[in-house]
Structure 1
């Protein structure tokens, strides 16, 4: 159980920023932008037609100076929609992974948050702590369902295909965040850490933050499409990273989760991260490795996202 001072520290950190969301807006938008640059021209038009069915389209494109930029802005901003619906203005309802609404795919008539769609905790224990059963519905089950429905030939309505597209833009990024693929159970945290949410770390910036949120924050927090494009195209930014083309061809979401799980065990839980809930000071080596892994995973997510959409809408 977290101590009072630790809970207060987390409250202070999160009170000054957006709630913890995978990669946060900056990461998701940069992944989407890099993917967009690799979409076929005809696919970009089909994508835009689907995104126009989302009620937030006008908001996504409000700052765009021209139609061409507006289409790109919509794609980039849509990547954060699955996190946006967790916030108060949307009034979307929380539900559970074992509930009647868990695995549905009904389009924009669905007003549930589906928080469990964002991850698949591959549970493990380094000290033989008992593991719980896995959720029946998760990021892998939903990505497979939505990817299958995205092509026009699937027979799904445009409303469903649009809804699925905005979720796919987000979930592909989530699947490549290592702590969205793991749950660690230890004697000190017997109920599991929910992907690093129970452990506390102190990075070089000096704040106390949940391990999961630390990894989410690698690309920054809230950002506009302008900011995401600027950061991705900056020297050494996400646009400049090379990706192994053999790995980029892997289209199975379960394989993505398996990769992320192994990276989490090797890097996210590496020393000095504790097996308990006490805050630990991160080392320079740990933070360097975390940034490198996050960047390579985001670049890979962008390549796989572009391939997925090109294949579905060609």
Structure 2
């Protein structure tokens, strides 16, 4: 077959999908697209058998020499298994399915976006690997008590922070699929549609209240430890947090009834702050190097660009 045949075949697949109204399936050909320029992520840890938590794990061991964590920092009780749910961006669009495969995790991700040449055209792209049961998820350093994974798809290597009933998806800007003439924004909170939410709204409200207190306590401690420009930066970050949360959850379906997005967003921020303060260091994998890279910082829970 001529060298250009795979590319022609991919275009033919896209044309057929467009004609039938079905999303473009990219079971492997999408991995041949030139990877986007994204920040280098910390080297993945290599646990013996990474699995999706049925609920966030308990707090990690703390160095006895470290200061005590803020009062009220507790792990939520088990509520659901995220691998049993179909997650959608803002609980409205796209589709994210997680599964256990080969002792780890895999994902099938459908993204909705707009055409590159015609922004008025709506397009859909599916990143899948049916033979393997999904595209491999590579473990990366956790966010405190929350497991994190990177999708092994160079065309759109999103990072997922997993909760028991949702996933916070982050990527540096948009993902562009030239062969499909499609640009998508995967960033945001992905959760089940309101009628499929397995978690009791009262439990979600308690999670949010606990996380709110953790965030306030962490910012208080950070202000006490800072001065000058560093203090001004902490105060600005604290002042902007509520606005960030409102923006992140403005379109989340059913948010006014259950508050899932705000609760999980706040839990992620609390974990990030506690990690910055040294209360929740990522656990070292068995047999992994214990020395952290100088100046290594936790991954951001928010997209850097939109």
Q: Which has the larger radius of gyration?
A: 2
Same fold by TM-score greater than 0.5: no
In terms of fraction of residues, the more helix-rich structure is 1
Q: Higher relative contact order at CA 8 Å, sep ≥6: structure 1 or structure 2? A: 1
